[in-house]
Amino acid sequence: MLLDVDESQLVLVDYQVRLMPALLDGATALANAVRLTQMAALLRVPVFATEQNPSGLGGSVPELETALKHANARVLSKMQFSAVEEGLGEWLRPPPKPVQGNARSLPKHLQKGPAGPERGTIVLAGCEAHVCLLQTALDLLEDEFDVWVVTDACSSRTERNRDAAFDRLAGAGVELVTTEMVAFEWIRSAEHPDFAAVQALIK
């Protein structure tokens, strides 16, 4: 099964000013997170980001913050390690739309309109892989989303913690991918109108 750009949403977890310097190869993870955000903006994939305890860990790193603004991303501040516990799931799954006109005259089962367009595939990356990313991913699975974790855009303070997170995620049914895999599965063909722009981002 390949990623479908029309079914995807991108979620970036906790790339924060005071956290990134402590992480293993954090610069690479951050650079890939920025690339993912830029590709999502180009391909009109909805983007969401989280910030864990921003008063203590600071906001998103400036280069990511710039990309998030360009992508019109929504940013969720949280204290729980799983962003789903703070309402991320409701952001990712649009609520039913209100019915136009006089809803009172309709039968009860028609008084709420259909939900907005469903994008059930979550492309997820973030820090720390074994804490906030892991707990968010497992909760998203429980909420019946398909979860794809971008391994080269994730980090933890130690390699062991990061790799243990990937092992556990794979065992739970998460698809493990890389930034380039996401890019080329989103566009599928060298004839895609945005192929050159996407290729430039990952070179």
Percent of the chain surpassing pLDDT 90: 86
3-class SS shares of the chain: helix, strand, coil, % to 5? 50, 20, 30
Count of other CB atoms within 10 angstroms of residue 116: 11
Give the tens place of pLDDT for each residue, 145-164.
999 999 999 999 999 999 99
Residue 169, H or E segment: helix 159-172
Give the residue-averaged pLDDT of 152-180.
98
Q: Are 21 and 145 in contact (CB under 8 A)?
A: no
Lowest mean pLDDT among 45-49, 81-85, 118-122: 118-122
CA distance 93 to 82: 16
CB atoms within 10 A of CB 58: 14
Averaged pLDDT for residues 1-30:
96
Confidence of residue 24 (pLDDT cuts 50, 70, 90): very high
Position 100 scores a pLDDT of 60
Distance CA(166)–CA(52), nearest Å, equals: 21
> How far is 166 from 9, CA to CA, in rounded Å?
20
> How many Cβ atoms are within 10 Å of 160's Cβ, its own excluded?
11
**How far apart, in whole angstroms, are the C-alpha atoms of residue 16 and residue 23?**
11
Number of Cβ atoms within 10 Å of the Cβ of 196: 10
User: From the centroid of its chain, how far is CA 27?
Assistant: 18
64-106 residue pLDDT tens: 999 999 999 999 999 999 999 999 999 999 776 666 655 555 5
Domain boundaries, the chain: 5-94+116-202
Q: Which H or E element spans position 183?
A: helix 179-187
- Are 149 and 124 spatial neighbours (Cβ–Cβ below 8 Å)? yes
Specify the pLDDT at position 44. Answer: 96
- Alpha-carbon distance 131 to 59, whole Å? 18
pTM (whole model) above 0.75: yes
Q: Regarding the domain delimited by 5-94+116-202, which CATH topology (the fold level of the hierarchy) does it fall under?
A: Rossmann fold (3.40.50)
Would you state the pLDDT for residue 113? Answer: 47
